């Protein structure tokens, strides 16, 4: 029994080291010792075992600071892989990455409408298994599946209350049963915030609001250095801030929500309406109704100087700025990051957002908040899905890891 307990503790320590090196790239035994409050000999023993097992490599010596230079250790990027999945209301992306978040297999993207689609979960698991098979990667080398998705999600229970009903099972348990891989889910906007804090423009900042500009308008909140979820895990429903009394009816059942006034879905619908009305524009309708192709076309047109497309994003940006003024008054963040799919037109949105902030926000508050445009952009959700798996890597796994 004593040997078993020691083995479990040793495994947990090694998993903690793997997780920390994933986030911090390279560390010395002394740094790891201080971080985990473990003796240097016990850390050195665990690191040497990880080297033998192929998880850790020597990175060379740290720059001299006057004393003996410590030997640095880094993660072996190809020791294992992560299956990252990013979902929105209309399509799903799958990417297998290594421990440096670099792709190791071809990217898959397929149409998957979530609303009123009873077959969505079956289509998702079918494509996951197809992707893994076609990648040629042994499942034993995959640490787990991380999935970002829209909806009201309880990541601890592994349930999405809006989409992908798994019946009497949790969603994560269902996907685990179908794939054989530990699965973790979280709201797409929360994962984008994690990605920006761990590897993006908001790296290491303590108070950051990350806006997910997609088909909806999501919010991930970093408060005191941690992802803030609220009492039930549903914090950050930024898209349902009411902007008007008599606006369009939202899916939530209310009128005038930000999502119905300024989301990518609304911009795309208005672009289609403008084309049908004969507005002067380089845009041509790609197909019937809003779609990924049409959304991408409107952003590309705006970035290429199309005045109609710029007008659409300027109107949306001003309304987003009005909602951000409310957010700044409540949260007083260090920074607000424009991320997600819509970061591609971040420079166009920037000016009207600032204009609205000047009009609606107290200068003493808005003056202390930086407005930043993501460098991760559309990849942020995939990176966040990888982060989700590694955030859970050092936790105890029983039948299926669902804690987030």
Domain residue ranges in the chain:
2-75, 81-190+382-391, 201-375
User: For the residues of 278-289, what is the DSSP string, one character each?
Assistant: T---S----SSS
- Give the other-Cβ count within 10 Å of 240's Cβ: 17
The CATH classification number of 201-375 equals 3.30.420.40
Task: Quote the pLDDT of residue 66.
Answer: 66
**pLDDT tens track, the chain, 404 positions:** 443 334 556 788 999 999 999 998 899 999 999 999 999 999 999 999 999 999 999 999 888 666 788 999 999 999 999 999 999 988 999 999 999 999 999 999 999 999 899 999 999 999 999 999 999 999 999 999 999 999 889 998 999 999 999 999 999 999 999 999 999 999 999 999 999 999 999 987 889 999 999 888 999 999 999 988 887 777 877 888 888 777 777 777 778 888 888 999 899 999 999 998 999 999 886 655 557 788 889 999 999 999 999 999 999 999 999 999 999 999 999 999 999 999 999 999 999 999 999 999 999 888 889 999 999 999 999 999 999 999 998 775 444 443 34
Which residues partner with 97 through β-bridges? 82, 103
81-190+382-391 and 201-375: same fold? yes
At the topology level, CATH places domain 2-75 in Arc Repressor Mutant, subunit A (1.10.10)
**Sequence-distant (≥ 6) Cβ neighbours of residue 54 within 8 angstroms:** 76, 79
Class of domain 81-190+382-391: alpha beta
Residue 343: what are its φ and ψ, rounded to 5°? -60, -20
């Amino acid at each position: 029994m004593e040997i078993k307990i020691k083995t479990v503790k040793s495994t947990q320590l090694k998993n903690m080291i793997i997780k920390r090196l994933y986030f911090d790239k390279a560390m010395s035994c002394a740094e790891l010792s201080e971080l985990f409050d473990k003796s240097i000999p016990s850390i050195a023993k665990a690191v040497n075992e990880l080297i033998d097992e192929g998880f850790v490599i020597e990175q060379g010596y740290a720059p001299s600071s006057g004393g003996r230079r410590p030997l640095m250790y880094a993660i072996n990027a190809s020791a294992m892989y992560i299956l990252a999945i990013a979902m929105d209301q209309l399509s799903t992306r799958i990417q297998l990455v290594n421990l440096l978040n670099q792709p190791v297999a071809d990217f898959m993207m397929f149409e998957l409408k979530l609303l009123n689609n009873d077959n969505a979960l079956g289509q998702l698991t079918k494509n996951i298994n197809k992707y893994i098979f076609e990648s040629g990667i042994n499942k034993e080398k995959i640490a787990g599946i991380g999935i970002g998705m829209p909806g009201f999600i309880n990541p601890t229970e592994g349930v999405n209350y809006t989409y992908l009903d798994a019946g009497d099972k949790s969603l994560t348990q269902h996907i685990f049963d179908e794939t054989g891989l530990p699965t973790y889910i979280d709201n797409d906007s929360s994962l984008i915030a994690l990605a920006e804090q761990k590897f993006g423009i908001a790296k290491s900042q303590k108070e950051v609001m990350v806006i997910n500009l997609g088909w909806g308008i999501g919010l991930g909140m970093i408060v005191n250095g941690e992802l803030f979820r609220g009492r039930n895990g549903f914090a950050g429903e930024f898209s349902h801030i009411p902007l008007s009394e008599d606006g369009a009816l939202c899916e939530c059942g209310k009128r005038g929500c930000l999502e119905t006034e300024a989301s990518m879905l609304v911009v795309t619908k208005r672009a289609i309406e403008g084309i049908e009305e004969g507005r002067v524009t380089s845009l041509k309708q790609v197909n019937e109704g809003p779609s990924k192709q049409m959304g991408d076309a409107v952003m590309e047109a705006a970035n290429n100087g199309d005045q109609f497309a710029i007008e659409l994003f300027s109107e949306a940006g001003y309304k987003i700025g009005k909602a951000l003024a409310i957010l700044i008054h409540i949260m007083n963040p260090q920074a607000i990051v424009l991320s997600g799919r819509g970061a591609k037109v971040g420079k166009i949105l920037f000016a009207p957002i600032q204009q609205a902030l000047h009009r609606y926000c107290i200068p003493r508050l808005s003056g202390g908040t930086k407005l930043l445009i993501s460098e991760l952009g559309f990849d942020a959700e995939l990176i966040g899905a990888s982060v989700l798996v590694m955030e859970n890597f050092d936790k105890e796994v029983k039948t299926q890891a669902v804690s987030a």
